[in-house]
């Protein structure tokens, strides 16, 4: 059976996976991401690591259909990356350069979109054709899969759920320069920010007040344990996320939302709060997208990168 390679390129680590074309992950490994000198070593390091792995496994280049790579930034349809802040990259075409180093085709995409393709293929969106995968991590990312393909968008802004403006009354600015973006509430950072804001303006008892220095997980755990202030915070975050999902339903109208990332570890407790608000906003039809949990965790990007290759066969 032919093989393909999945590459999930992050700011500190590169995750790599060797796949069979039926989707079986044969082996996965990691190498560090060397961002020095504008990230000039990153692609050669990846190429060397893949060649070494193929040699050890006795796999020839002819047996490899290609490699897929998810990069942490916007990529245009022709593979061009204008800038990738976390890697130091500027004006680079990683598809083309890595393909020249490896001697077989390379297909790339934005990492959130590629992870969405993974969840669509082998994860929480498996069995559907139209999937939006949402990652609630440090920020809020999302990827839109329509008819089994990534919606990239004309200017690399497709599926930017995290920066949909959902609260024009917000006093603070988002990192993007916008106001009231989904990411300011429904991310790990957002949950902590919201909790601190509520603590500052109320005198309510809360376990969060005791520690002072808490994480998003602490907020979610406190809410689950019945801490009223924490519950209000989580509910508010899920309300804003629901507005964002409403926007996605009234634009791309997927069959399912697959929710992943660190914050989603709060599980069905979190989704139940999200569903209450989502159902409240969707007025046009009783039929609407389901909301479920992602299942591939940190491997979603690897699977999606491999699927990028298979989508081109």
Stretch that binds a copy of itself, among 97-105, 196-204, 209-217, 253-261 (CB under 8 A): 253-261
Cβ proximity to a copy of itself: between 6 and 109 the closer is 109
Nearer to a copy of itself, 67 or 186 (CB): 186
Q: What is the DSSP letter of 15?
A: E
Rule CB under 8 A: is residue 125 a binding residue for a copy of itself? Answer: no
Which residue from 94, 246, 300, 308 is in contact with a copy of itself, where contact means CB under 8 A?
Answer: 246
d(CA 22, CA 27) in angstroms, rounded, equals: 14
283 scored as a contact of a copy of itself (CB under 8 A): yes
Q: Which stretch binds a copy of itself (CB under 8 A): 63-71, 111-119, 211-219, 248-256?
A: 248-256
The yes or no reply on residue 260 touching a copy of itself (CB under 8 A) is no
Q: Which of 58, 127, 177, 212 binds a copy of itself (CB under 8 A)?
A: 177
Could you say which of 25, 146, 207, 292 contacts a copy of itself (CB under 8 A)? Answer: 146
Report the C-alpha dihedral over residues 97, 103, 108, 111, rounded to 10 degrees.
-90
The H or E element that residue 18 is part of is: strand 13-20
CB atoms within 10 A of CB 286: 7
How many helices, marked H, and strands, marked E, lie in the chain? 11, 12
Judging by beta carbons within 10 Å of its beta carbon (0-12, 13-18, 19+), is residue 32 exposed, middle or buried? exposed
Hey, is 103 helix, strand or coil?
coil
Provide the binding-site residues for a copy of itself, judged by CB under 8 A: 74, 130, 144, 146, 151-161, 163-165, 167-169, 174, 176-178, 243, 246-255, 281-285, 287-289
């Amino acid at each position: 059976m032919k093989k393909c390679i999945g590459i999930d390129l992050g700011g500190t680590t590169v995750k790599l996976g060797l796949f069979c074309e039926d989707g079986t992950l044969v082996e996965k490994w990691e190498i560090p991401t060397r961002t020095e000198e504008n990230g000039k070593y990153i692609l050669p390091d990846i190429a060397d690591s893949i060649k070494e792995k193929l040699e050890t496994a006795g796999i020839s280049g002819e047996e490899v259909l290609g490699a897929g790579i998810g990069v942490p930034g916007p990529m245009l349809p022709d593979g061009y990356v204008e800038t990738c802040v976390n890697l130091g990259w500027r004006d680079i075409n990683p598809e083309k350069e890595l393909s020249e180093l490896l001697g077989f085709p390379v297909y790339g995409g934005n990492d959130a979109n590629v992870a969405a393709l993974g969840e669509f293929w082998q994860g929480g969106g498996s069995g559907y054709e139209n999937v939006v995968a949402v990652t609630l991590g440090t920020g809020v990312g999302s990827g839109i899969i329509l008819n089994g393909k990534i919606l990239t968008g004309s200017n690399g802004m497709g599926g930017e759920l995290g920066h949909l403006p959902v609260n024009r009354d917000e006093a603070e600015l988002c990192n993007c320069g916008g106001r009231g973006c989904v990411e300011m509430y429904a991310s790990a950072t957002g949950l902590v920010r919201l909790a601190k804001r509520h603590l500052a303006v109320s005198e309510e008892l809360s376990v969060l007040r005791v520690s002072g220095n808490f994480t998003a997980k602490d907020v979610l755990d406190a809410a689950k344990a019945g801490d009223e202030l924490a519950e209000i915070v989580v509910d508010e975050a899920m309300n804003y996320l629901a507005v964002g999902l409403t926007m996605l339903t009234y634009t791309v109208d997927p069959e399912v939302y697959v929710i992943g990332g660190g914050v989603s570890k709060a599980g069905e407790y979190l989704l139940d709060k999200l569903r209450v608000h989502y159902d409240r906003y969707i007025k046009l039809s009783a039929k609407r997208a389901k909301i479920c949990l992602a299942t591939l965790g940190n491997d979603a990007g690897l699977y999606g990168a491999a699927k990028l290759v298979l989508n081109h066969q």
